[in-house]
Structure 1
């Protein structure tokens, strides 16, 4: 195999992945958008990290371009040894509590505008698995977080508020749940997938559904008050299976323990 290629290296995961590979002395090709060399050189092992998240609803055509169109061109025209396509565990959402395993039969309403994200990711998965000549695999990522200074996202921003105030109010109900997985575990999982011949789909998740009520308990034990809105019935959430992830040697960290450690760190609270 000849080196690594990261498509979408300007993003959060792509950038972390590129840095991790370079830190261990690997040759990394991170093509800019429209770089013709993408179809002229040997790409080696490819991580397809390009995609849209928060703004997919207002950029539906860009979402399809990133998740499907460029991928199709890479699969049909580029030279590569292996390709790992980054997808999302949100594809399980419509299955409710019954969802969460990699071999689930997914279900989508094609008329729902928000499903441009889910449908485009699902088509990207299909192309990777069925049109790569057996060289493709899919990593379905759950809610990735990083507690390093300057990180963005729900948990990092919550901790930033906690540095300034002992009482925080969230406009969210106690029963809302998410599967949070730390960025370090994601990078380790992707590298393991890139270095192996693991086929099919792998959930890259912690395997734990953490509710806002769970977070309030963690903050409360550390001396903070986390106020939430009155509870109301919530749709049942999928529970991500992580057997395939564990088979790669990855043991995801408990997000609640990581938050507790951050809150307990000397000098964390600035007042």
Structure 2
């Protein structure tokens, strides 16, 4: 018997594939490039295309599919995001109709216009038409697809994921800093749930151990952080250049990001990432995590120092 991991050449998929191999599972990585993970078998597949025979032949022995494939850029082309997250998800479900499905999603499926304060899983996904960006919209569409076709699937919604090999939030914040100063909306005082990659892996493995677990699960470090404190602590641990955090009014930051995107777009250098981040940091982003413990039976670890203001 075997376990399938799509997107194993990426940050989350690679971590899950390594953990599965370490615990003795026969693992097949289905992706466009070889992740070169010891103990993991590679099979080329671009999931935007129907599965070739070499992939469908694995279905008979595949007990579970961890669907982690995605695009780690909020600025990616809309059509490309749709092809990977929506068409790709449909192709994966079709290729493995009998296997246990663990679908890796994101807390971006919750409404961007409402406060994220201890949100329970039933708060999302919101209507995909309500999202201004294709990254969130396609995550919501993919979740809806999984829910319709595989009601018994587990859907993991990690909040902003960080750790060795990270690709999104923390690296982008590091690139935003100028001359050792990082300006954050509201001075980084917002409370935010973050998810260390080890906690994502712990939740994923629990989905194998608890095959009856179905539906969405918020995944995160157990206690929300004050963003500014989490950034300073994490930057020090990861070897990023240290920064001094300064505040900028949230509305001013949002206007500046929109203007910056418009100006850059004129010169065909538009980058949606900064606007996405500023929108993301307009308010607290915290999620109720009780279901991960109650149903999956896991307790996650607080990898960064919690705020003194908790």
TM-score band (shorter)? 0.7 to 0.9
Note the C-alpha offset of 1:217.
8.0
Matched, 1:141 2:188: no
Note the C-alpha offset of 1:71.
1.5
Query: Structure 1's 11 and 215: CA in aligned 2 closer, same or farther, altered over 3 A?
Result: closer
Matched, 1:205 2:223: no
Note the C-alpha offset of 1:109.
6.7
- CA–CA distance in structure 2, aligned partners of residues 128 and 109 of structure 1: 14
- CA–CA distance in structure 2, aligned partners of residues 33 and 258 of structure 1: 41
- 8 Å Cα contact 1:180-1:210 kept in structure 2: yes
- CA–CA distance in structure 1, aligned partners of residues 223 and 204 of structure 2: 19
Counterpart position of 1:12: 11
Counterpart position of 1:183: 197
Counterpart position of 1:50: 69
Aligned CA-pair RMSD: 3.2
- CA–CA distance in structure 2, aligned partners of residues 64 and 157 of structure 1: 23
Query: Structure 1's 77 and 38: CA in aligned 2 closer, same or farther, altered over 3 A?
Result: same
Structure 1: gaps (5+ residues): 161-166, 260-271
Query: Structure 1's 188 and 112: CA in aligned 2 closer, same or farther, altered over 3 A?
Result: closer
Note the C-alpha offset of 1:154.
4.5
Q: How many residue pairs were aligned?
A: 244
Note the C-alpha offset of 1:78.
2.8
- CA–CA distance in structure 1, aligned partners of residues 170 and 58 of structure 2: 40
Query: Structure 1's 74 and 158: CA in aligned 2 closer, same or farther, altered over 3 A?
Result: closer
- After TM superposition, the score normalised by the length of structure 1 is 0.77
- After TM superposition, the score normalised by the length of structure 2 is 0.68
Counterpart position of 2:45: 33
- CA–CA distance in structure 1, aligned partners of residues 75 and 127 of structure 2: 16
Structure 2: gaps (5+ residues): 31-43, 252-280
